[in-house]
Structure 1
Amino acid sequence: MPDWSYHPLKEALLDKVNAKAGREFIHQSMSTVAKVPGGRSFIGFLGHMNPPHQIQKDIFQTRFSTSVGLSGVIDPKLSGLRAFQELGFGFVEIGPIVINEPHEQKEPLRENRQILFANQPEKVPLKLVIQKLTLLNIRIPVLAKIDAQVNSQELISVVQHLTPFVAGFIGTSEQLHFIDQDLARPFYVSFTAEEFNENILDELVVRSCFAGVVLTAPRQIADNYWLETANANESLVKIVKQAKEVNPELNIITSGGVETPNEAYRLVEAGSDLVMLTSGYVRAGPGLPKRINERILFEERPLQKPRWAWSLLFGLSILMGGLIALYFALTSIILPYDESFIGLTKEEILLVNPRILAFMSHDRMALAGTMISAGILYIQLARHGIKLGMHWAKITFHSAAIIGFLGILLFIGYGYFDWLHGLFWLILLPIYFFSFKEGKRVTGSPFSSHGENNTAWRIGLYGQLLFIILGFSILVGGIVISTIGVSAVFVSTDISFLCMSPEMLDNISSKLIPVIAHDRAGFGSALVSVGLLVLMLSLWGFRQGESWVWNTLAIGALPAFAAGIGTHFYIGYTNFLHLLPVYFLVVLYLVGLGLSYGFLKSNK
């Protein structure tokens, strides 16, 4: 569940139910999606959340794909464990772990949109932990937190049972004394920010199984519940710096004190090796780990200069093809080879029913406008995405291009092959081949300096949501139109405009409908490509200050909308129900531009 869906749902539903019910709904929903065939790929498609390889690190022979992890306090029932590994986390903490399930546990509370956690946290029985870790294919490291109240025998039992499944243990300094010296996994000692001091380290470093410390952000307590203090991040950064000054080799994991990418980066910069998210993750949304990863990469971003000239040429070719198609649609409408195939000249068709050519013109103008929009989108992706080595831009570019090439199969689906379309396809093919070849070096991950959860970001999420709906709607519309183009060809409003049934058209010329169908199918295919471009650009390209994304969506959609609406008024085909889907798309487009403007156009 990306931020653009999480926050609208949170405000509409989750903030109105109790904290535990909302938590379990989200976690179980995400895990269900991750469980079904193709679910993991679907989550990856929505969020593109895999951490960039440049920020991975090794600690005690364990590779963490990123330093960002999730605290066990967020998922005490382990209901979301399957899904969290798909959201950009480098590790997860589970626990506190006990032998047997407690009889009574206090649930978290929701108060003034804040989550209050019980001083005695929800605990996880060992049996459930073993069951989950055995059944689930967990591909990221797991750190097991042992409850502070387990006795020495229970402690040893937990360690023995979980050693094959986890990358390390978290416990108290007292528990450290009960652990054998030859412990097979690193043991981190947990402290609150108030408990930790420099003298404690002298007692711990002499233990061979001691791996480092877990520092918990300062909390304020009220009626057996806690929430983090307002200056939790600042206090935690200060403590991490002090600990690193005393022992630069000390491994430090922080827990809490992070609600924004900047706060996480300040902890990493101060010396924190791993950063666990707590209540800030709930407020900021599931996209927080991805945003933190991009913020960290921004400071270490590699300079890539891949080739992009052929991709630019491909976009220019699509644009020019659209302009040529627009010229023909506004002038001759049908070409000599069309007349030859139909068996009627343009003048003869006009004598039979002038609306036939007007109808054909409206499909060809719509196709031309869609191609011009596609060309603009391809050009912008090449200039601002592929040029900078962005892998997501390459995937967007080539997914839409391949679908567009396959669309030629629809041209002959009703028995008519347009040789001019075929020639254009053959000219594009070698250009695309070199574009695809140069794209193999485009492997970079996105980075961003955006580090705050400000108002522009929150409003921008709604703009992003509208553009995602817009792209998906165009995609579905393209599929529907393509299907109609190779099957029924006409809808009821088309018949009303033409004032002729398909049978009457077929009586005029048995080859008239195939010519109309091939235009309609081609238009649908072009819409599918544009829908994919808008959808994936909206899913993966929204970052603060990326003004080119806003410019691309603003300018790129205009030709398609202008042609789609203008051509209908040009020929007098103004049926409201027929144009209602286009009006709906225009509303999404305009409102989306307004909501996303402050986020995409501002670097602050």
Structure 2
Amino acid sequence: MIYKKLIKPILFKKDAEQAHEWALKLASLTNSSPFLQELSSLVYKNTNLDLEQELFGLTFPNPIGLAAGFDKNGTTPRAMQALGFGFVEVGSITAKPSAGNPKPRAFRIPKDHSLINRMGLNNEGADRIIERLSNLDLDIPLGVNIAKTNDASIQGDNALQDYLYSYEKAQQVADYITVNISCPNTGEGKTFEDPQALHDLLETLDPAREGRKPTLIKFTVDIEKPALEKLISICEDFDVSGYIATNTSSDRTGLNTPNPILNSIGNGGLSGRAIQKRSTQVVHWIREIAGKGKPIIGVGGIDGPEAALEKLEAGADLLQLYTGLVYKGPGLVRSINKKLTRSNLNG
């Protein structure tokens, strides 16, 4: 209620990226303050203690995680734990630092309870971020999302080695690693969702090697089932630990936001309620293709208990939020967890 009546109106007077930076500063301050963490826990911490699961060797106290994109540089994990998240994923991080795409590059479309962004993988680079994360002492799993550096000149084997650098660095701090093969917001606009490109990438990363951290693959929402079947077959050959569905969308079909506004915004990845049904469909397809034993993290349009249950019923074991927090605030985590029961979980 405080967020809806007081904080949200202030944030929505700023542009989307300015509001994000304000929220990130507040979360980063909480991250470094035991007092603010305790205060946040008192207000927001989940009281449902029957939601614990063990997946790919990790214990998740509840199924609600922070999606990659909010905390690209790893400055807020303790704060997210205090807010009641059951796990947190930072990044995407890349081997080299990147300022990302030119501003403006993040936009709200309130009529659809969604966002469009073309941030361009802005982050401080793997070395600095991994060093920052090295002193964390979390009680929840930490995921690190990796992607290729946003530099069109990095191609071929150099692109594979770029990924490998971040992957090797993340091994030092991550409880699991997400390989982001589907980010459209890069200079060359290419992804690793081409079957041969994915094969070459996984061959380079070698996720099944002894001592590797659990490795998950994140897919776009704009994928069709036949293509998904080919990619999952490749992933299974390399014994990946699980899947995340989904990343953002380039499709603008069926939005309530008028076309002139969408045209003025331009390119970018669509997230939020507008991709809810489509992302749930991809979760369902992955469950059909990969079978019951493979963990799936569902993300896309989860902005309340009903949307969370939809993902779980489709086959997700865990869930992630980001855009929903923009519209509903940090109390969303607790409100979802309060409505879940042990029987809702697949793990």
Decide: shared fold, TM above 0.5.
Answer: yes
Q: 2:321 aligned to 270, 277, 281, which one?
A: 277
In structure 2, list runs of 5 or more residues that go unmatched. 182-197, 253-261
Whole-angstrom CA distance in 2 between matches of 1:64 and 1:79: 21
- Could you tell me which residue of structure 2 aligns to residue 59 of structure 1? 55
Whole-angstrom CA distance in 2 between matches of 1:62 and 1:119: 31
Whole-angstrom CA distance in 1 between matches of 2:102 and 2:246: 20
Whole-angstrom CA distance in 1 between matches of 2:300 and 2:30: 28
Give the drift of 1:275: 1.2
- Could you tell me which residue of structure 1 aligns to residue 177 of structure 2? 169
- Could you tell me which residue of structure 2 aligns to residue 141 of structure 1? 141
Does 2:59 align with 1:41?
Answer: no
- Could you tell me which residue of structure 1 aligns to residue 93 of structure 2? 97
Question: Do the aligned partners of 2:273 and 2:303 also contact (CA within 8 Å) in 1?
Answer: no
Q: Secondary structure at the match of 1:137?
A: coil
* Aligned counterparts, 1:142-541, within 5 A: 142-149=142-149, 151-171=159-179, 172=181, 173-174=198-199, 175-180=201-206, 181-183=208-210, 184-195=212-223, 197-208=228-239, 210-216=240-246, 219=249, 220=251, 223-228=266-271, 231-246=274-289, 247-297=291-341
- Shift of the 37–166 alpha-carbon distance from structure 1 to 2, 3 Å rule, reads closer
Question: Do the aligned partners of 1:69 and 1:276 also contact (CA within 8 Å) in 2?
Answer: yes
Whole-angstrom CA distance in 2 between matches of 1:166 and 1:285: 27
Identity of aligned residues (%): 22
Q: Secondary structure at the match of 1:13?
A: helix
> What is the TM-score with the length of structure 2 in the denominator?
0.76
Whole-angstrom CA distance in 2 between matches of 1:55 and 1:244: 21
Whole-angstrom CA distance in 1 between matches of 2:177 and 2:142: 9
Give the drift of 1:277: 1.0
- Could you tell me which residue of structure 1 aligns to residue 46 of structure 2? 50
Structure 1 or 2: more helix by fraction: 1
Per-residue CA deviation, residues 93-118 of structure 1 (Å, 9 max, x unaligned), is 11121122114434543345453211
Question: Do the aligned partners of 1:217 and 1:235 also contact (CA within 8 Å) in 2?
Answer: no
Question: Do the aligned partners of 2:283 and 2:314 also contact (CA within 8 Å) in 1?
Answer: yes
Question: Do the aligned partners of 1:217 and 1:257 also contact (CA within 8 Å) in 2?
Answer: no
Whole-angstrom CA distance in 2 between matches of 1:111 and 1:163: 35
- Shift of the 37–211 alpha-carbon distance from structure 1 to 2, 3 Å rule, reads closer
Give the drift of 1:231: 4.9
Question: Do the aligned partners of 1:95 and 1:124 also contact (CA within 8 Å) in 2?
Answer: no
Q: Secondary structure at the match of 2:243?
A: strand
- Could you tell me which residue of structure 1 aligns to residue 71 of structure 2? 75
Give the drift of 1:217: 5.4
Per-residue CA deviation, residues 49-83 of structure 1 (Å, 9 max, x unaligned), is 13633111111111111111111212224343331
Whole-angstrom CA distance in 2 between matches of 1:22 and 1:62: 33
Whole-angstrom CA distance in 2 between matches of 1:278 and 1:130: 22
Q: Secondary structure at the match of 2:310?
A: helix
In structure 1, list runs of 5 or more residues that go unmatched. 302-604
Give the drift of 1:124: 4.5
Whole-angstrom CA distance in 2 between matches of 1:245 and 1:112: 33
Whole-angstrom CA distance in 2 between matches of 1:102 and 1:115: 22
Give the drift of 1:148: 3.5
Per-residue CA deviation, residues 321-368 of structure 1 (Å, 9 max, x unaligned), is xxxxxxxxxxxxxxxxxxxxxxxxxxxxxxxxxxxxxxxxxxxxxxxx
Q: Secondary structure at the match of 2:244?
A: strand
Whole-angstrom CA distance in 2 between matches of 1:230 and 1:133: 31
Whole-angstrom CA distance in 1 between matches of 2:107 and 2:13: 9
- Shift of the 288–177 alpha-carbon distance from structure 1 to 2, 3 Å rule, reads same
Count, aligned residues: 296
Question: Do the aligned partners of 1:70 and 1:89 also contact (CA within 8 Å) in 2?
Answer: yes
Give the drift of 1:46: 2.2
Give the drift of 1:298: 8.0
Give the drift of 1:268: 1.1
Q: Secondary structure at the match of 2:54?
A: strand
Question: Do the aligned partners of 1:218 and 1:236 also contact (CA within 8 Å) in 2?
Answer: no
Question: Do the aligned partners of 2:127 and 2:169 also contact (CA within 8 Å) in 1?
Answer: no
- Shift of the 28–252 alpha-carbon distance from structure 1 to 2, 3 Å rule, reads same
Which of these two proteins has the greater Rg computed from alpha carbons? Answer: 1
- Shift of the 146–235 alpha-carbon distance from structure 1 to 2, 3 Å rule, reads same
- Could you tell me which residue of structure 1 aligns to residue 189 of structure 2? none
The one-letter code matched in structure 1 to 2:50 is Q
Question: Do the aligned partners of 2:148 and 2:163 also contact (CA within 8 Å) in 1?
Answer: no
> What is the TM-score with the length of structure 1 in the denominator?
0.45
Q: Secondary structure at the match of 1:153?
A: helix
The one-letter code matched in structure 2 to 1:102 is S
- Could you tell me which residue of structure 1 aligns to residue 123 of structure 2? 123
Question: Do the aligned partners of 1:265 and 1:295 also contact (CA within 8 Å) in 2?
Answer: no
Q: Secondary structure at the match of 2:162?
A: helix
- Could you tell me which residue of structure 2 aligns to residue 369 of structure 1? none
Question: Do the aligned partners of 2:70 and 2:90 also contact (CA within 8 Å) in 1?
Answer: no
Whole-angstrom CA distance in 2 between matches of 1:236 and 1:104: 26
220-229 vs 265-274, greater mean Cα deviation: 220-229
